[in-house]
Amino acid sequence: MRHSLILFLVLAAAGCVAPYEPPKPVPVSTAKAVFADYQRRYAATLAGVADRLERGDITTAQQAADEIQAGIQAARIAAFQPMGDRMNAAVGMERWDVAKAAAVLRQMSQEITVKGAP
In a domain, 10, yes or no: no
Whether 82 is covered by a domain: the verdict is yes
Segment holding 83, helix H or strand E: helix 61-90
pLDDT at 115 over 50: yes
Instruction: Report the candidate in 3, 15, 76, 16 with the shortest Cα–Cα distance to residue 44.
Output: 76
Any domain includes 62: yes
Q: Please tell me the number of Cα atoms within 13 Å of 41 on its side-chain side.
A: 18
Within a domain: 19: no
State the total domains in the chain.
1
pLDDT of 65 over the 90 cut: yes
Query: Do the Cβ atoms of 66 and 53 come closer than 8 Å?
Result: no
Residue 115 lies in a domain: no
* 64 burial via Cβ count (<10 Å: 0-12, 13-18, 19+): middle
| Cα 71 to chain centroid, rounded | 19
Q: Is 18 helix (H, G, I), strand (E, B) or coil?
A: coil
Q: What is the span of the domain harbouring residue 32?
A: 28-110
**79 domain residue, yes or no:** yes
23 in any annotated domain: no
Q: Is residue 80 part of a domain?
A: yes
| pLDDT tens by residue, 6-63 | 655 555 555 554 555 555 554 455 777 888 899 999 999 999 999 999 999 999 999 9
pLDDT in tens, 86-112: 888 888 878 788 998 898 888 888 877
- The neighbour count for residue 58, using CB atoms within 10 Å, is 19
